Chain A
Amino acid sequence: MDAELAASGDASAFERLYRTHVGRIHSLVRRMLNDQDPDEVAQDVFVRAWQKLGTFRGEAAFGTWLHRLAINVILGQRERLGIHRRRYHEDDAMLETVAGRRAPVEMTMDFEAAIELLPDGARQVFVLHDVEGYRHEEIADMLGLAAGTSKSQLHRARMTLRRHLDR
């Protein structure tokens, strides 16, 4: 198992793990943080993973462990940049700027682009809930919110993004 090999210092095994998981980690970083270089943060994730591999017990799947670590790194980034709770207050004005008629572009890019334009709070809750599948209780815990705030942010994100679906 590559995770076991990497944990005992095998860098080639770790490179294989990187190749397997980088798409998913990089996409997660990109969607969660839209004002930083995703390459740098993704790199940080893997470096941190290498450092912490000694604590990976092998009973859970490596991908799940890495994913959780990535979220911790991402949330750590938020704190370092001083992104505070005020972002989660109702902010209709910002949401309205994302509106607009859909241009006839290829659907995948369009929807992703719309996600990246959401305000931070709504976007992060949306990514964690609808894209990554976490529950509100878990998201509230991770982001330091009340579960109710998480639910209302999710709703706002969805209401905005519905305008960017095809018709």
Chain B
Amino acid sequence: MFPTLVSTVFSVMTLAAPIDTTVPAERGQRLEANVFGGEIIVKTWARNAVRLQADPSSRTEVTISSVGSTIIVRSEGRRGPASAVDLNLTVPVWMALDLSGVYTDVTIDGVRASLEVETVQGDVEVTGGEGQVSLSSVQGSVTLRGAKGRIGVHSVNEDVRVMNTTGEIKAETVNGEIELEKVDATNLDANTVNGDVAYDGPIHDGGRYALSSHNGDITIGMTPTTNATVAVSTFSGDFESDFPVTIKNQKKGKRFDFTLGRGGAQVELESFQGTIRLVRPGTAASRQDHDNDDDRDTHP
């Protein structure tokens, strides 16, 4: 049922299962959704409205409300802890999202607005995102495709993957790999402790690209004509390159710099004990897989 279009403000609606309700949305409104456990799945459509579909158990209550410029969807246990519920949301393409949960997987497809996603035990998979995009999981993996803007992707225990994305990117995990494929970063900060980092994308003049790991390998796609000043640092690792480089400033221990092209970008490649390698553009992913013999202990 549509509330009257005169006002899009509505008080808390508690919905009876199975839920299929659509509420109008005004341009500029954002959506906040939180479920303790389950899935939040977001798709888009051309209407200025939010459709919510869910089938909660009898012990769980799902509410939707509009507070100022925010539409809020929540799940709560009627008595005691909430049980898992999957929320299927269809939202306008322009709607900014703030999604969170604990045992919650989050999937978003097609939104072209800012996104904030936070979960503890759950995977985050996003296609879309524009502006400020921040995705974070503790236990699960984070995958982002097709985003544009200022990007932050964080996991703790799993991999972080970013593809077909443009902008300033920060990617971090502790026990996982960072894969950046067909990514056009103007600035990049990718670091992990136990895992490899791979970047294959344009390197812009004036940009800073910092890739680092403690245990893992660093792989970056570059050519002799890429304009970059490259600083390589490792303690006990190795350096490999698909093409010869002229090393200058060799410092004590395994650290050195070299310049490619006009040296416009600043590239820092650091691995405490892994291999740092420059590869032909377009091959970073396959080179990383090829040398990844699963000798990394991902579950100590």
Chain A residues proximal to chain B, CB less than 8 Å: 60, 106-108, 135, 138, 165-167
The reply to whether A166 and B59 contact each other, CB–CB distance below 8 Å, is: yes
The reply to whether A138 and B299 contact each other, CB–CB distance below 8 Å, is: yes
Digitize B180-222: 1 where CB-to-A-CB distance is under 8 Å, 0 elsewhere.
0000000000000000000000000000000000000000000
Kindly state whether residue B300 has any CB partner on chain A within 8 Å: yes
Q: How far is it, in angstroms, between the C-alpha of A107 and the C-alpha of B77 when the chains are bound?
A: 11
| Other A-B pairs, 15, CB within 8 Å; known A108-B80, A135-B299, A166-B57 | A60-B300, A106-B80, A107-B59, A107-B80, A107-B81, A107-B83, A108-B81, A138-B299, A165-B57, A165-B83, A166-B58, A166-B59, A166-B83, A167-B57, A167-B58
Minimum CB–CB distance from A110 to chain B (whole Å) comes to 11
Q: How far is it, in angstroms, between the C-alpha of A167 and the C-alpha of B85 when the chains are bound?
A: 11
Digitize B50-83: 1 where CB-to-A-CB distance is under 8 Å, 0 elsewhere.
0000000111000000000000000000001101
Neighbouring B residues of A60 by C-beta, 8 Å? 300
B contact face: mostly helix, strand, loop, or mixed: loop
Q: How far is it, in angstroms, between the C-alpha of A105 and the C-alpha of B241 when the chains are bound?
A: 65
A-B contact count (CB 8 A): 18
- Chain B contact patch, size range: under 10
Of all chain B residues, which has the CB nearest A133? Answer: B139
Neighbouring B residues of A135 by C-beta, 8 Å? 299
Of all chain A residues, which has the CB nearest B77? Answer: A107
Neighbouring A residues of B81 by C-beta, 8 Å? 107-108
Of all chain B residues, which has the CB nearest A165? Answer: B83
Neighbouring B residues of A106 by C-beta, 8 Å? 80
Neighbouring A residues of B58 by C-beta, 8 Å? 166-167
Of all chain A residues, which has the CB nearest B121? Answer: A133
Neighbouring A residues of B299 by C-beta, 8 Å? 135, 138
Digitize B278-300: 1 where CB-to-A-CB distance is under 8 Å, 0 elsewhere.
00000000000000000000011
Q: How far is it, in angstroms, between the C-alpha of A20 and the C-alpha of B58 when the chains are bound?
A: 36
Q: How far is it, in angstroms, between the C-alpha of A60 and the C-alpha of B299 when the chains are bound?
A: 13
Digitize B82-118: 1 where CB-to-A-CB distance is under 8 Å, 0 elsewhere.
0100000000000000000000000000000000000
Of all chain A residues, which has the CB nearest B59? Answer: A166
Q: How far is it, in angstroms, between the C-alpha of A108 and the C-alpha of B82 when the chains are bound?
A: 11
Of all chain B residues, which has the CB nearest A64? Answer: B300
8 CB contacts below 8 A, A to B, read: A107-B81, A108-B80, A138-B299, A165-B57, A165-B83, A166-B57, A166-B58, A167-B57
Q: How far is it, in angstroms, between the C-alpha of A167 and the C-alpha of B83 when the chains are bound?
A: 10
Of all chain B residues, which has the CB nearest A107? Answer: B80
Digitize B36-59: 1 where CB-to-A-CB distance is under 8 Å, 0 elsewhere.
000000000000000000000111
Q: How far is it, in angstroms, between the C-alpha of A165 and the C-alpha of B83 when the chains are bound?
A: 9
Neighbouring A residues of B59 by C-beta, 8 Å? 107, 166
Q: How far is it, in angstroms, between the C-alpha of A138 and the C-alpha of B299 when the chains are bound?
A: 9
